[in-house]
Structure 1
Amino acid sequence: MKNYSIRPYTLEDYAIWNDFISSAKNATFLFHRDFMEYHSDRFQDFSLLVFEGEELVSVLPANRVGDTVFSHQGLTYGGFVFDSKIKLGEVIEITKAVLAFLNQNNITTFQLKLIPSIYNAFFSEEIEYAMFLAKAKLIRRDCLSVIDLTKPFTVTKTRKESIRRGEKNKLEIREELNFNLFWNEILIPNLTKKHNSKPVHTAEEIIRLQQKFPKNIRHFNVYVDNRIVAGTTIFITNAVAHPQYISGNEQKNELGSIDFLYNYLITEVFAAKNFFDFGPSHEGNGKKINEGILFWKESFGAKTTVQDFYEVQTSDYHLLENVML
């Protein structure tokens, strides 16, 4: 049995954290500290580093609220990050060590938000088995609509008609960095009107993030007669293109602007990726499906995969002892 030491992340760990993330089997740019720090004022960071001797073997992006630690609430996905050499027995021991560390630091509950499998460079489901052993409770399951771009997929007749409508209306797609135009003219008014809400990122925040991660964040606007009518911001990893924001004006159905844009992104811009992840179509912690949004995504050929959320009591770390015979 190996001995693991655990300590919270500090600013002095910036370089070794990011270096580990760059070669991990289940990490993306969202785990880079430059991405995580953009909303550091909103969360009490409780990210952890796990060492075997002097070697960093795992990191956990996380934040704390009272006596609960979450795999970071400010990120779309999270959980333990490992390198490609990790073995199942080591993951079980690391999970036990982390739960024990949390328990010793007056954390009673740990909530784990997994990274969807499509984002992993290798099979990476050891942590699911560790959660099973620790009697973790599945508290939420999100359904994601994903196109597997490595296999044939079918676009419906209705969607094709809308794409042709965009062609007839002579829509123009431009990749550009004018986030303010899209945020102020399209995104914010739509979110305010439909949901009385605001984007997770302000325009200033997304601009700063794009400047730090220019290969991972790209933005596209749609114009008719030089007037913006729709747009989307895409987060890009090695294997996946994921729309973080998408919105169109009230003419989007008449113009075919959103369908025209997404056909271009799927078939041309990101055709070489493995997956196009539309994300979830639900409300109420995964228990209610927005049928119209799901129908739209599936009409492009998207199928369903899931993202799981677990809750485990840190006092149950002992359940991970003596597992290997």
Structure 2
Amino acid sequence: MTKYTVKKYNQNDFAIWNDFVAQAKNATFLFHRDFMEYHRDRFEDFSLLIFEEEKLRAILPANKRENAVYSHQGLTYGGLVYLSKLKAEKVSLILDEILHFLKENKIQTFYYKPIPDFYFSEGNKEIEFFLIKRGAVLERKEMNLAVNLSMPLKISKSKLKHFRRIEKKNDLYIVEEQNFYPFWEKILAPRLLKKFGVKPVHSKGEITLLKSKFPQNIKQFSAYKNDQIIAGITIFETKNVVKSQYGATSKTGEEFRALDFLFINLIQMYNQNGKCFFDMGIVDEDNESGYNEGLLKQKEELGCSVYGQEFYKISIK
């Protein structure tokens, strides 16, 4: 019978971890240690490596909080990462070893947050099936909005009408920025503080650092009018998917529908560049309906369809 060994990540595993991420069927640059560790002071890392004899077969980006382990709370998504040649039966065996390892380490609960399905054409559902079979429950499910770029675009007529009017007037122009200062300091941070009383998840220093490490994956597009920034979208780009990590506009930008102008230009650009999906993220909100109706409407009018983001919970016995 196949024998697997589970061990916690340490700094000596940096190279082997990143090499594996580069080859895996279901990994993105968010799982690279240079990305994961920019906020290591906020999380107690509990990432795992799973070996078959001496060969690395899977990794699990994770963190620990009290008696629970999470597939990493500092990442938009997570889950077990493995190569395409790993068959489902072996995924099942690996899950058993992980659960046994967690039990030995006195972990009481495991929270699992997989990557949305549309990120990978090969499929990525094996472990979720086996989690359910071992007693996991679907703790919650959120609506993840994304544009399928392989299908005809479904941008609403009203948004296209305003887009063409702005385009014709030539009032706005788009810049791919190398400096995050204009968007972060003049648009994003003030807007989030005023509307929600919060700061961006990434500080300007952190996003600048991450951009320096992943220049092909992290991009900033901003809309200007009369040399004044009025809106911006920060993009996280992977092999098949682009994700709008941040999007915000000023009051002036609202008047000119600058954020829609940016979104439509980027959707069209990435459609032409051969990307498969444009991910606009979740629309959840702590209210009676469980979602932000305005955000849902806006994203659907930009051509998004609803996909699921699942969150699983399993008690360790």
Report the TM range for the smaller structure's normalisation: over 0.9
> Residue by residue, what CA displacement relative to the aligned partner does 1:244-302 show, whole Å, maximum 9, x if unpaired?
00000012232121111111101124532000011111113996111111111111111
2:308 — aligned with what? Answer: 306
Q: Which runs of 4+ in 1 moved over 4 A?
A: none
Task: Quote the Cα distance in structure 2 between the aligned partners of 1:270 and 1:176.
Answer: 21
The CA RMSD over aligned residues, in Å, is 1.4
1:231 — aligned with what? Answer: 232
Task: Quote the Cα distance in structure 2 between the aligned partners of 1:115 and 1:126.
Answer: 12
After superposition, the Cα gap between the structure-2 partners of 1:285 and 1:3, relative to the gap in structure 1 and judged at 3 Å, is: farther
User: What's the secondary structure of 1:130's corresponding residue?
Assistant: helix
Task: Quote the Cα distance in structure 1 between the aligned partners of 2:207 and 2:166.
Answer: 28
Q: How does 1:1-325 map to 2 (within 5 A)?
A: 1-167=1-167, 168=169, 170-271=171-272, 272-284=274-286, 288-315=290-317
Query: Identity percentage over the alignment?
Result: 46
CA contact (8 A) 1:78 1:113 kept: yes
Tell me by how many angstroms 1:120 deviates.
2.0
Task: Quote the Cα distance in structure 1 between the aligned partners of 2:199 and 2:277.
Answer: 28
Task: Quote the Cα distance in structure 1 between the aligned partners of 2:314 and 2:286.
Answer: 21
Task: Quote the Cα distance in structure 2 between the aligned partners of 1:52 and 1:101.
Answer: 15
Please, what TM-score do these two structures have when normalized by structure 1? 0.94
> Residue by residue, what CA displacement relative to the aligned partner does 1:82-138 show, whole Å, maximum 9, x if unpaired?
110111110111001000000011101100011111112411110111111111011
The unaligned stretches of length 5 or more in structure 1 are 316-325
Task: Quote the Cα distance in structure 2 between the aligned partners of 1:239 and 1:142.
Answer: 21
User: What's the secondary structure of 2:42's corresponding residue?
Assistant: coil
- AA partner of residue 220 (structure 1): F
1:320 — aligned with what? Answer: none
Tell me by how many angstroms 1:234 deviates.
0.2
Tell me by how many angstroms 1:164 deviates.
2.5
CA contact (8 A) 1:8 1:48 kept: yes
Count of residues in Structure 1 that have an aligned counterpart in Structure 2: 315
After superposition, the Cα gap between the structure-2 partners of 1:68 and 1:100, relative to the gap in structure 1 and judged at 3 Å, is: same
Task: Quote the Cα distance in structure 1 between the aligned partners of 2:212 and 2:270.
Answer: 20
Task: Quote the Cα distance in structure 2 between the aligned partners of 1:135 and 1:261.
Answer: 44
The unaligned stretches of length 5 or more in structure 2 are none
Task: Quote the Cα distance in structure 2 between the aligned partners of 1:69 and 1:132.
Answer: 17
- AA partner of residue 305 (structure 1): Y
> Residue by residue, what CA displacement relative to the aligned partner does 1:127-154 show, whole Å, maximum 9, x if unpaired?
1111111110111111111111011122
Task: Quote the Cα distance in structure 2 between the aligned partners of 1:286 and 1:2.
Answer: 49
Task: Quote the Cα distance in structure 1 between the aligned partners of 2:28 and 2:153.
Answer: 26
1:322 — aligned with what? Answer: none
- AA partner of residue 295 (structure 2): I
Task: Quote the Cα distance in structure 1 between the aligned partners of 2:222 and 2:57.
Answer: 42
User: What's the secondary structure of 1:76's corresponding residue?
Assistant: coil
Please, what TM-score do these two structures have when normalized by structure 2? 0.97
- AA partner of residue 259 (structure 1): D
- Of residues 158-167 and 79-88 in structure 1, the stretch that sits farther from structure 2 once superposed is 158-167
